[in-house]
Structure 1
Amino acid sequence: MRRVLLVVSVCVPILLGAQAPAPPPEVSTSGFAEVRLPADRVLMRFVVQTGAATAVQAASLNGDRVRRVQAALAALGFRGNDARATGFSVAPNYEYREQRRLVDYQARTQVEVNLKDMERMGAIIDAALGAGATEVGGMQFISDTAEKARIGTIAAAFADAKTEASALVAAAGRQLGPILSMTTGSVARPMQAMERAQFSTAAAGAPSVEREVVVSYQVQVRWAIAP
């Protein structure tokens, strides 16, 4: 009997010590901040697409048309990197009915125009399309102060999350403890928020689009609740 009692008295402390402590109470909140900046310039993208019976012919036709587009833009003062060709591709174009049939080869190039005077967008669109561009592929409005604004939105988003967390724990009669974890991320890339514009030939002859850059940031924070 003494031996059994001795074994039990040794095991009890070990079992009690193996129990994990309860996790401390915590609260999780998210914060958001956004700022809208006027655009300082716009990057316009024109698509030049051509088709031919062979890949070589399609590429050759495409090159000729791209040069015509660049010449038209050069006449408006856009040369070098201000009107550069990018993203060339050529691929077979198939038709699928009862069986696959090769229709032709399609070559495609983008011509990018870097523009500061945004009142000239309408004239540039007319010139590019008139010289052989097949469509306006998109416009990217850029603000030179976007990076500085992004840093500001990070701080504002964190302050938003902390304000909410403090209000929650105060309502429960407690105090906010240290940060347990934090996840951050831009909601949208501020300098690459590209939209496919719908164009209007009204009044000034420029596309009817909002010329601004939206910089936004979101943060999620887990906080301990102080005892």
Structure 2
Amino acid sequence: MREQLNQTMVVGGTGMVSGKPDLVSIQLGITTHAAQLSDALTDNSDRSQSVIDQLTALGVSREDIQTSLFNVSPQYDYIDGQQHFREYEVHHQLKVTVRDIQDVGEIIDAAVRAGATEVSSIQFSIDNSSELYEEALTKAVRNAQSHALALAQAAEVVLNHVPVHIQETTQPQAMPFTVQAMKMSKAPPIESGVLEVVANVMITYSYR
């Protein structure tokens, strides 16, 4: 009898809640080329400043514009197996956080017109998803309970409804919606859609 009372089962549960994004992260690239490094750097600096000025003019805070990558690399041609210097390439990447998603299309278009040569990522997210996550977590626990009851009925055993152990298997986050684009001459229409906040749990129940 004591062995029967100690029998356990482990079940998983998943909960999902939809939410409207209210934050957008954009990666903008400014790439310049020149035979002289000083010229490539100057051109890149001018273009980058122009992009930043356009963004701030549209209401983006300077604190929401950050350099995420800056790279200088010589470019070579290979002729008859020989390496020949061609030019310098300077790449400056800016991470821009937009807090009014209605402005995303306008901001991207302005950045491209100001000198941005690439838009490598547009990622929508939810600034504070904790409440949605808690709702998803509740659904995940109920989902696991449903699984446990179904297993107990199928196995013809009596389930103890008080869990022995509960473990979260994900961190609170919204599944990102990402748009990839490169070498844009004009920004396309951007739709934010909805995001899914997902929670997963593993619950151990005892049965007899």
Quickly name the TM-score band, shorter chain normalised.
0.7 to 0.9
How far does the alpha carbon of each residue in 1:169-204 deviate from its partner, in whole angstroms, 9 at most, with x for none? Answer: 123221234536746114x842x72512569xxxxx
Percent identity, aligned pairs only, is 27
Structure 1 residue runs without a partner (length 5+) = 1-20, 200-204
Query: 2:192 — aligned with what?
Result: 210
Q: 1:94 to 1:206 in 2, by over 3 A?
A: closer
TM-score by length of 2: 0.75
* Cα drift, residue 127 of structure 1: 1.1
Matched, 1:184 2:179: no
CA distance in 2, matches of 1:223, 1:99: 68
CA distance in 2, matches of 1:207, 1:52: 33
Q: Given that residues 55 and 91 in structure 1 are in contact (C-alpha distance below 8 angstroms), is that contact kept between their aligned partners in structure 2?
A: no
Q: 1:151 to 1:46 in 2, by over 3 A?
A: same
Matched, 1:119 2:102: yes
CA distance in 2, matches of 1:100, 1:163: 68
Match of 2:12 among 23, 30, 42: 30
* Cα drift, residue 33 of structure 1: 0.9
Query: 1:136 — aligned with what?
Result: 119
Aligned length: 199
SS at match of 2:148: helix
TM-score by length of 1: 0.70
* Cα drift, residue 165 of structure 1: 0.9
Give the root-mean-square deviation of aligned CA atoms. 3.4
Query: 2:23 — aligned with what?
Result: 41
Matched, 1:148 2:160: no
CA distance in 2, matches of 1:83, 1:64: 16
Matched, 1:74 2:56: yes
Structure 2 residue runs without a partner (length 5+) = none
Matched, 1:157 2:143: no
Structure 1 range deviating more: 95-104 or 144-153: 95-104
Q: Given that residues 125 and 177 in structure 2 are in contact (C-alpha distance below 8 angstroms), is that contact kept between their aligned partners in structure 1?
A: no
Structure having the higher Rg:
1
SS at match of 1:139: strand
Which structure has the higher relative contact order (CA within 8 Å, separation 6+)? Answer: 2
CA distance in 2, matches of 1:85, 1:37: 29
Query: 2:67 — aligned with what?
Result: 85
- The one-letter amino acid paired with 1:136 is V
Q: 1:182 to 1:67 in 2, by over 3 A?
A: same
CA distance in 2, matches of 1:63, 1:160: 54
